[in-house]
A and B are shown apart, each in its own frame.
Chain A
Amino acid sequence: MSRSMISAPEVRLALAAALLVLLSACGPARVDVEGQFPEPLMEPLPLTMGVWYPEEFANHEFFDKAKTRQESSWIVKTGQAQVQMWDKLWGGMFYEMVHMKGQPGPGQMNQIVDAVIIPHVEELQYAIPAHTNIKVYEIWMRYRFEMISSSGQPIAEWTMTSYGKTPTAFMQTDEGAVNLAAVMALRDAGANFATNFTRVPAVQDWLQEKWQTPQSEEGVP
């Protein structure tokens, strides 16, 4: 009886709404990684460190490389969170952190700094429960860091990995779980960098040279 009371326009409207819902469910799940990153609790290194974020790093995103961007089931944008995390970390790790005006190189006018760090995300892999049958979301990243002088002369280059995971149990949505895994991977990257920066052999050599040169010039043994 109630069915006879539904008019044709109402049926069309309901069908259109249902179609819209179905279509919106077809696109990739999008996550703009957001998180709070703490300052590192450490004695800052007495260096004025320049930072240059390449465009592909500052706008970094990842999706299923086996498919096109639109066909991928996930698009996760990490660029903004990357910049936020590294700014916070390097701001606390060094006496001073300076954002460079331009990409360091010969003839490029830039601020005076001891060295410039340029981060790159070389590789990123992710796993969701649908891939692995384990109720854990995982993100693994490999970074490459270049450390160069403000005139573009190479000082050191090294790679570093980071890993973040989160179980499904306490998260409400898949997007939330992927976001948290990405935040954990970023925190891990910061922890790895903060604890191992001075152990990178080329950095160690440069620091030794840098800190010993003024002393020997002043006649300090």
Chain B
Amino acid sequence: MTSTPLRALLLGAVITTTSACVTSEVDEMVFNVPTEGIGDSSVVILGRRHASDYETEPDFIECVGDHISSKDRSITVIGELEFINALYPWFEPRTAPLKPEDIDKLMLQEPVAMKMAELKTEYMIWIDGSTERTDSAGSMTCAIGPGGGGCFGFGTWTNEASYEAAIWDFTDRAEVGRVNTSATGQSYMPAVVVPIPIIAPVQGTACDGIANQLLEFLSSEY
């Protein structure tokens, strides 16, 4: 056997292994879907940061936004930080509206109402959840000497992601849908001289799952 097919076989095996480690599930509850997408309005995706022991990761929120705008370029997704900075101090963890009706109180303030109109925000999506490492096992020893270094051992860990997105219609001040996604994956790191991380893309899978469901809601093309 020549070395080129062997390399290709090994590469294929690695890719198959890394992509086969995540299982995910998506649940959707929709009350009122827009019939022709959101038109020229914009959508903002925000992370809930009220829990004491976890925080919805900003990079997850960015991932969902990027996924939506890359799949349907007609949808304008306002960046989370850009939005909360533009509306400071009304969307900080202490002051953020917890239910759609709270928006009415917020809109009584003229500068807030004007900024919202300027941003053309039609939908506000609140994502709550996190990705956690739930289990880990194995051990690895690394050593370094004058002649070089290396590691030996095996490590494995499980990550679990759980997120829920609540979709608020900004015009009607009502919640119009809710999407849940959960994903679990086991990552491995065998090491014979060189550690080879085989990472399960748990958060990425959860991001794709929730973003695809949101696309069905927001986009006229899906």
State the A residues within 8 Å of B (CB): 2-3, 36, 38-43, 134, 136, 165-167, 169-170, 187-188, 190-192, 194-195
Contacts and interface: CB of A to CB of B under 8 A. Distances in A.
A39 B109 CA distance: 16
Given A43-B110, A136-B53, A195 B89 contact: yes
A41 B90 CA distance: 8
18 contacts: A2-B147, A3-B146, A38-B88, A39-B88, A41-B115, A42-B109, A43-B110, A43-B111, A136-B53, A136-B55, A167-B54, A190-B89, A191-B88, A191-B89, A191-B95, A192-B94, A195-B89, A195-B95
Nearest to A44: B111
What is the interface of chain B mostly: helix, strand, loop, or mixed?
loop
B112 interface: yes
A188 B146 contact: no
B87 A41 contact: yes
Given A43-B111, A192-B94, A195-B95, A169 B89 contact: no
B57 interface: yes
Contacts of B111: 41-43
A20 B89 CA distance: 45
Contacts of B39: none
Interface of B: 53-55, 57-59, 85-90, 92-95, 109-112, 115, 130-131, 146-147
Contacts of A192: 94
A39 B111 CA distance: 12
A47 to B, nearest CB: 17
A191 B58 contact: no
B101 to A, nearest CB: 18
A187 B87 CA distance: 12
A133 to B, nearest CB: 11
B109 A43 contact: yes
B86 A191 contact: no
A188 B90 CA distance: 11
A100 B65 CA distance: 45
A134 B55 CA distance: 12
A184 to B, nearest CB: 8
Given A38-B86, A191-B94, 20 more contacts: A38-B85, A39-B88, A40-B88, A41-B86, A41-B89, A41-B90, A41-B111, A43-B111, A136-B53, A136-B55, A166-B55, A167-B55, A167-B57, A169-B130, A170-B59, A187-B88, A188-B92, A188-B93, A192-B94, A195-B89
